[in-house]
Every structure is written in structure tokens, then in C-alpha cells.
Structure 1
Amino acid sequence: MTTFEGWPGDATAFLAEIAADNTREFWSVHGHRHAAAHAPMRALAAELEPEFGPVRVLRPYRNRRFRPDVPPYRTDVGGVARSPGGCALSVVLSAGALSASAGHWSFDGRQLRCYRSAVDGPAGDELALLLAGHTVDRGRALRGTPRGFRADHPRIGLLRHGGLQVVTSWPVGEWLATREPLERVRRAWRAAAPVVVWLDAHVGPPEPVAPRPRPSAVPEPAG
């Protein structure tokens, strides 16, 4: 399936049901229905790729290796592309909405320092103008004042962000069964492009995560 033709009604119904009963027992009986949400997402990703680059479609299974307390299955379907500077361009369908976002969900230490330094200077005025008209995810914003800055800083709101992404969401409806989702996501990512360019220039990609060392297989010497 390479041409996106929308999502069938059972796609969001299944996502609502897996959110309510996120168990292996439910999945063993109903897991085949995940294709109603997943296959159209793959088709959507394929149509976005020529303009935005490869879009990685998320698997339904959560990685619980380091978070065994999280539910075993995702309650949404999504895809992620990357800008040249490492920004995530994301599209996510849940039981209640289709959302498109662009930016960094969370900055690492180096990115945060670069971001605050840029916002503190002339580039901060540019960013404020670029964000006008966008909805900014404020989920990781500090309530207090970042260390080294005054509470009356003219861009204190931007300085409080621990990540920066712009988000556009649309409630689910009959339009999901058409090609309209493709056009909406495409327009949202295009509209976010100036913000992405700013983040690529002033923040850059996250630092690579060092692999965790494996436990040594050599037995300890007897005492």
C-alpha cells in the first residue's frame, strides 16, 4: 500500500480499545486489527518521503527493557522524519486526534545551553517572530527562572522551555477516511519549516547516546 487513501473507522476504534485494555490477552485476540491504523500510516509516510525524507513508522510494541512499568503496546500510530539538523517531524494518530509536530520534544544538556544562549541574543527576537501563530508544546517548560537569567528577561517565556516543538492537532472525524490527513500534515510541516531551520542552525542534533556496557561474562575470582 503506497497510495494514502485515509483511515477506516476501525482504526480509531481499535486505538481506543487498546488504550482501555492494554494487555497481551487483548492483543492476542484483536492485534490483527492494528493493520487498519498501521498500514495507512505507512502509506502516508511513503507519500511524505519525497519532500521531507524518510519517515520511520513506529512499531506497535513499546520498548520495556528500561521501563518495565509502561504498557506493552502503543495506543497510537505514528511516523517520524528528521530535518538535516536533527529536528523531529512527527505525525501521530490517536483515538481522539491526528497531530503533526516539528522540533525537539526535549533538549539534552548541550542543546539546552545552545538554545538558551541563542534566545538570550538577537536570534531570540527572530525565534519569537517565527513562533507567532504556532501552538507551542509547553509540557517541559520550567515554572521558575532558569539559572543565570533574570525573571524580567524580555524572553523569559522562551528561556523556560526544556524542549521546543510546534504542534497542530485536529479532532478525528469522517475526513480521516479521505486524503485530507495527508494534505493537513504536509501543510503543518511546511508551515513549521522556518522554526525547524532556526533550531537546526542554533541548537543542532542531540548528542549520540553511548551504548550501555554489557555485564562481564568473566566470573569473579574465588575469594
Structure 2
Amino acid sequence: MSGAFNGWTEQAFEVLLRLEGDPPPEVRESLRKERELHVRQPMIALLNTVADAVPALDDFSVWGFHKESRWWRHQGAVIRIARQVEIGLRFDLDGLHLKAGWHYPDPVQVPRYRAAVAAESSGARLADLVGTLQTRGYEVTGDLMKRMPRGLPADHPRACLLRHRSLLAARPLAGDDVALTLATVDRVLEAAHELTPLLSWLGRHVAATARTPPPHVRR
């Protein structure tokens, strides 16, 4: 059981230090139980605590173990908002990082996104939302085309947004010192609140399809 979240512990960073570089499989396996206890279980506890505070954030998954060593050095998790619209979290030696928005799009979503960006009302709203997040320290990233999509003018006022095939807002959330404390919960909740307008825009204009949530990770 993951129990209540009270921050990661120093042991979490010690385990991750021992997983630095590309340790052989036998070394990784020898640290599996310690990593599960000190690294992965606190992430589950964190997201359970977040879901208790904001029930709309209760559809989450916390990644397990993979063959590639980089997955052992970084503990990932996602909170699903709508189809292909998520809040992603990553814990590693630098602390907790967040990247949220729309990525790995379904084929129908890209033209839907472009139509919403090109439309004056919805497009201007997205530009305002992105600008606000940038002033708050978020880096806006995503998969960008080198040229404008066919049929759209190169001098469109939202040309940069129209070149996106995914749209993400990212920033460090809690350094290694804060990650040791319960304050991490407040950081996640604050970021979720800041990102709600963008995620809602993406859910309405891009996802626009119902989905069946997969089982929650609550162990």
C-alpha cells in the first residue's frame, strides 16, 4: 500500500543515484523492491491525495517497470483529462516535473485542432491562454511542422499555433528539496488549477470524443 503522501524520502534519491547511467539488469532487479517502496509508491500516494482534493483528477496511471534503464531512473505518471489530453508528471533526481496538454493525437484530432485555432473566437482564446501560461513560467512545446499546413496563409496571426501537431505546457514543479515534503501536493494542485483553462479548451475543441477510463492505479 502506498499510504498517505508525505513527500519522497532521502532513500528515494539514494535509490535513483544507484540507478544512474546504464546499470545492468541484475543491478536494476536488485533494487526493484527499494525503488517500488521509495520511488513509485509515493507517486501513487501523491496522486491519490490529489484525487481526494479534486475528484476530477482521479483517473491516473503510474508507470511500472520496463526493460529500458531510463524508465528506472525516472518515475512517470499521467492524469487523464480527455482523449489524448493529460497531465504528465515525472519524478527523478532533480525533483518533480510537469508536462500537460495534448499529444499523441488521433488522426481526426489534428484537423479539428487547426480548425479551432484558425477560428477567430476559439483561436484568440487559445493564444491568450498560451500567453498567460508563458508569463507564469511554463514552456510551451509540442510537435511543430516546419511549414504552415496546406491551405492556411503563412501570415496568419496564429501561425505558430497552427503549426502544432501537439501542444504541451511544461515546467519544473518541485525541486529535490520540496519533493521531500508534503508541499508537493500544493504544487500539483496549483499547477492543475493554472492549466485547467488550457486543458478544458483542448478537451472541448480537440478531444471532443467520449472514452472509457482504464482502471485506476490505487495500490
- Considering the TM-score relative to the shorter chain, is it more than 0.5? yes
Work out which structure has the larger RCO, using CA pairs closer than 8 Å and 6 or more positions apart in sequence.
Answer: 2
Give the match for residue 96 of structure 1.
94
Preserved CA contact (<8 Å) 1:131 1:195: yes
1 CA distance for matches of 2:97 and 2:70? 22
TM-score (norm 2): 0.81
The structure with the greater share of residues assigned to helix is 2
1 CA distance for matches of 2:116 and 2:142? 21
- Summarize deviations over 1:191-222 as a string: whole Å, max 9, x none: 100111111110016899xxxxxxxxxxxxxx
2 CA distance for matches of 1:139 and 1:46? 28
Counterpart secondary structure, 1:103? strand
Preserved CA contact (<8 Å) 1:168 1:188: no
Q: 1:13 to 1:6 in 2, by over 3 A?
A: same
* Pair 1:150-2:157 in alignment: no
2 CA distance for matches of 1:20 and 1:206? 41
2 CA distance for matches of 1:22 and 1:56? 26
Aligned with 2:38 (options 36, 47, 54): 36
Q: 1:108 to 1:23 in 2, by over 3 A?
A: farther
Show structure 1 runs of 5+ residues with no match: 63-69, 209-223
Shift of 1:19: 4.1
Shift of 1:165: 1.8
1 CA distance for matches of 2:129 and 2:142? 20
Cα RMSD for the two superposed structures:
2.3
Aligned with 2:141 (options 135, 138, 143): 138
Shift of 1:48: 1.3
* Pair 1:183-2:181 in alignment: no
Preserved CA contact (<8 Å) 1:6 1:177: yes
TM-score (norm 1): 0.80
Structure ID, larger Rg: 1
Aligned with 2:64 (options 24, 47, 59): 59
Preserved CA contact (<8 Å) 2:173 2:187: no
Shift of 1:125: 0.3
Counterpart secondary structure, 2:150? coil
The letter of the residue matching 2:126 is L
Show structure 2 runs of 5+ residues with no match: 212-219
Q: How many residues align?
A: 201
2 CA distance for matches of 1:171 and 1:17? 21
* Aligned residues with identical type, % of pairs: 25
